[in-house]
């Protein structure tokens, strides 16, 4: 998949910006706060209907503007040209259009235009709380399997309803009918079991992609391992009924504590993706450098997995990932970016012009360089083969 051009209006630092990208490596430079990461954020919006920087769309609105609008022209194996437009108006929300036709649901966009972001924030993926790794799982699986996203959205709805009932039951023990709580619990078990089973099977399959990503980054001395910790010890070949029974039993054992606390204490929303290097838990024992490289490896593995599972090769967004990396790691990543059979199109940001010039020398392939300052984008240099 390729992004041919991007237009931003009233988005962050950009009042009106239009950029024509190259088909391979796009290097984007500029001072901090100039608006270069905004370009990557806009691409992410057009691919997944949301930012990778904030959960609040209003924060992306240019100060004083009444709306923001994004438009991208894509091409790929399934469509020779696809124009995606996203409009956000405070109080009205977002609307997305495919070739002028509105999408009924924002979730319909997910998976159509696969994308992967690598950024310094990826260290939170390895060193942060469990919810960071659950978000990683959910984002990846939602792009790979549309049915997973629908189950996830319905599960969250059932979880909200059950939590509201438990909170009400905590305050007013006689006010909630047991049958109502049981019905939402069964809905939670049905949907949650499908999520758990998909995650179990995914983690078993994903391990090979993580190992491949580590090798491609030159990490042959370390052995990565991932484990999925859920409601009970379960094997990937378990059937759905067995998962549901384990989930149901776990909720039964936690029933009194849930009533005391007024919330659901077990399920996919509480599970953990355990990461290990040479047998040691990454979150507790890894060095800062290991956290950074492990985060990059996980995102690269995500890219490799989506490329293998989807018809379209994902766009790869790299936000300031080279700053602080040694030359060897930089070279390994650039070697990956050069191979069109592996990575079709990438977008790389950096605040350092000297680093961009070094990347230009190291890349040795078709690329374009852009310079962003005060929300204005100019082509700095390019090589086209």
Closest of 25, 116, 120 to residue 304, by C-alpha: 116
**35 marked as part of a ligand binding site:** yes
The partner residues of 319 in beta bridges, in order of sequence, read: 349
Using an 8 Å Cβ cutoff, are 271 and 196 in contact?
yes
31 is in an annotated binding site: yes
The response to whether 127 counts as a known ligand-binding position is: no
Beta bridge partners of 378: 371
Phi, psi of 51, deg, nearest 5: -80, 155
Ligand-binding site membership of 37 (annotated): yes
Q: Are 197 and 243 in contact (CB under 8 A)?
A: yes
Determine how many CB atoms are found less than 10 A away from the CB of residue 15.
14
**Tokens coding 265:** 């204490």
β-strands 367-373, 25-29: how paired? parallel
Distance CA 316, CA 293 (A): 17
Task: Please name the residue that has the structure tokens 């190992």.
Answer: 211
CA-based nearest residue to 70, from 57, 54, 88, 52? 88
List the strands of the sheet with 376-383, edge to edge: 115-118, 315-319, 346-350, 25-29, 367-373, 376-383
Please give the annotated binding residues, written as ranges. 30-37
The binding site for ATP comprises 30-37
């Amino acid at each position: 998949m390729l992004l041919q051009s991007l237009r931003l209006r009233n988005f962050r630092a950009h009042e009106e910006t239009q950029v024509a990208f190259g088909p391979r490596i796009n290097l984007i430079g500029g001072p901090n706060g100039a608006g270069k990461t905004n370009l990557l954020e806009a691409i992410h919006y057009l691919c997944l209907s949301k930012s990778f920087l904030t959960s609040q769309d209003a924060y992306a609105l240019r100060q004083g503007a009444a709306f923001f609008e994004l438009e991208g022209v894509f091409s790929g194996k399934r469509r020779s040209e696809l124009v995606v437009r996203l409009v956000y108006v405070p109080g009205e929300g977002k609307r997305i259009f495919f070739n002028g036709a509105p999408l009924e649901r924002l979730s319909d966009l997910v998976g159509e235009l696969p994308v992967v972001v690598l950024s310094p924030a990826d260290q939170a993926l390895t060193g942060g709380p469990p919810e960071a790794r659950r978000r990683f799982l959910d984002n990846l699986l939602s792009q790979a399997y549309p049915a997973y996203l629908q189950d996830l959205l319905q599960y969250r709805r059932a979880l909200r309803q059950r939590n509201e009932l438990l909170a009400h039951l905590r305050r007013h023990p006689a006010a909630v009918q047991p049958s109502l709580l049981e019905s939402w619990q069964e809905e939670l078990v049905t949907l949650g079991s499908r999520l758990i089973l998909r995650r179990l099977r995914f983690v078993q399959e994903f391990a090979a992609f993580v190992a491949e990503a580590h090798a491609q980054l030159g990490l042959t001395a370390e052995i990565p391992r991932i484990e999925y910790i859920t409601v009970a010890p379960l094997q990937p070949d378990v059937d759905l009924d067995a998962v549901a029974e384990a989930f149901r039993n776990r909720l039964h054992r936690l029933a009194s504590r849930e009533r005391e606390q007024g919330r659901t204490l077990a399920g996919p929303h509480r599970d953990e993706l355990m990461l290990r290097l040479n047998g040691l838990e990454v979150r507790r024992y890894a060095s800062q450098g290991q956290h950074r490289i492990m985060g990059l490896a996980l995102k690269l593995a995500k890219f490799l997995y989506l490329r293998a599972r989807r018809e379209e090769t994902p766009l790869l967004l790299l936000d300031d990932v080279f700053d602080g990396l040694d030359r060897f790691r930089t070279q390994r990543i650039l070697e990956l970016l050069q191979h069109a059979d592996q990575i079709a199109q990438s977008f790389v940001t950096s605040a350092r012009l000297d680093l961009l010039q070094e990347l230009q020398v190291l890349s040795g392939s078709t690329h374009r360089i852009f310079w962003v300052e005060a929300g204005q984008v100019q082509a700095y240099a390019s090589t086209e083969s």
